[in-house]
Amino acid sequence: MLQYHYALAMVVQLFPTCLVNEIRPDAGMAVVRVLERVGCEVALPEGLTCCGQPAYNAGFHDEARRVARHTLAVLGATDGAIVVPSGSCCDMLVHQTVELFRDEPAAAEAAQRVASRCREFSQFVAERGGVPGGSLPSRVAYHPSCHLQRGLRVQREPLQLIGGVAGAESVPFDEQHECCGFGGLFSIKNAEISAAMMDRKLTAIEASGANRLVSCDLGCLLHLEGGLRRRGAAIAVQHLAEFLDEAAT
């Protein structure tokens, strides 16, 4: 396998996220390979579980704090950049965890230290100059997930990375920046509204003529992929890392 050699490999910690770990490990392996291609050595901290976002968003702050404390302990024992292949989990670590501990100065400080080390996957890869030399003829509908584009303000990076792949054409679609309706537990508690939002999104994506749907959040992707499958639509659904990995292979 082709490896790009940097003078010194940069060690990065990977927070794979629970959805990648349990449901789509292929996306995680793609993240690892892409990070290696941009000159990193990937480390997986021992004992990571979940960032606690499901409890936090449901209003169960005590439970969210317990999980966040665990995550901060695990990540706090490591050094260097922490790469998170999810806009919403990364936003949880960068913004919400700090908010969660606002009445506990020591924990808030620990949360702030971890927050300052976190990079969402596309943000990190773009900062490293992108993946050199990939090619993959495709028409890509990129779905900008909400916590990525509005929470972390990561807006151009994923499109830059897709644009860097020879033969890949990014196709715009109607109301591209609107929420897909996933929203974590919202997709179950308010399933009907979530589905109405998803239908608008999928109709727009199908009308765009795209043959791939790419995003940086597995939550949105599982929701949209499940909806596309229910519709019988033949659009391949990939995490950005899987797309970049396929293009570079």
Partner 1 sequence: MSSDASGGFAQRAHDALGNRQLHIALDRTTAQLGMRRSTAVASLDNFDGVRDQARAAKMQVLRTLGDSLRRFEEQLIANGAHVHWADTGADANRIIVEIATRTGVRRVAKSKSMVSEETHLNGALEKAGIAVIETDLGEYIVQLANDRPSHIIAPIVHMTREQVGRVMHDRLAVPYSDDTQTLARYARERLREEFLQADMGLSGANFGVVENGTICLVTNEGNGRMVTTLPRVHVALMGIEKLVPTMADLDRFLKLLARSATGQKLTVYTTLIRGPRRAGDECGPEELHVVLLDNGRTNMLAGETAEILGCIRCGACLNACPVYRSVGGHAYGDVYPGPVGAIVTPGLRGLDRFAELPGASSLCGACRDVCPVRLDIPRMLLALRHQAVERTPQPFALRAGLKMFARVATRPRLYRAATALVRRALRARARNGWIAKAPGMASGWTAFRDLRAPAARTFEQQWRERQASRHRG
> Cα-atom radius of gyration of the chain, to the nearest Å?
18
Question: Binding segment for partner 1 among 14-22, 113-121, 122-130, 205-213 (CB under 8 A)?
Answer: 14-22
Q: Is 6 left (phi over 0), alpha (psi -120 to 50) or beta?
A: beta
Binding residue count for partner 1, defined by CB under 8 A: 67
Tell which one of 23, 171, 204, 236 touches partner 1 (CB under 8 A): 23
Distances (CA, A) of 114 to 31, 40, 92, 238: 20, 19, 11, 28
Tell which one of 112, 193, 207, 209 touches partner 1 (CB under 8 A): 193
Is 172 a binder of partner 1 (CB under 8 A)? no
Nearest approach in angstroms of CB 187 to partner 1 is: 6
Tell me if 242 sits within 8 A of 30, measured CB to CB.
Answer: yes
Question: Binding segment for partner 1 among 109-117, 126-134, 135-143, 194-202 (CB under 8 A)?
Answer: 194-202
Is 227 a binder of partner 1 (CB under 8 A)? yes
Tell which one of 195, 204, 233, 236 touches partner 1 (CB under 8 A): 195
Is 32 a binder of partner 1 (CB under 8 A)? yes
Is 144 a binder of partner 1 (CB under 8 A)? no
Binding mask 46-85 for partner 1 (x = CB under 8 A): xxxxx-x-xxxxxxxxxxx-xx-xx---------------
As given in the structure block, the two tokens for residue 209 are 């003529």
Tell me if 166 sits within 8 A of 134, measured CB to CB.
Answer: yes
Question: Binding segment for partner 1 among 102-110, 112-120, 171-179, 207-215 (CB under 8 A)?
Answer: 171-179
Shortest CA distance to 96 belongs to which of 57, 143, 142, 41?
57
Tell me if 105 sits within 8 A of 82, measured CB to CB.
Answer: no
For the CA atoms of 189, 195, 197, 200, what is the dihedral angle to 10 degrees? 180
Tell me if 95 sits within 8 A of 113, measured CB to CB.
Answer: no
Is 120 a binder of partner 1 (CB under 8 A)? no
Shortest CA distance to 122 belongs to which of 23, 24, 217?
217
Nearest approach in angstroms of CB 126 to partner 1 is: 22
Interaction site with partner 1 (CB under 8 A): 16, 18, 20-26, 28-29, 32, 44, 46-50, 52, 54-64, 66-67, 69-70, 99, 146-147, 150-151, 177-179, 181-183, 185-198, 200, 222-223, 225-227, 229-230
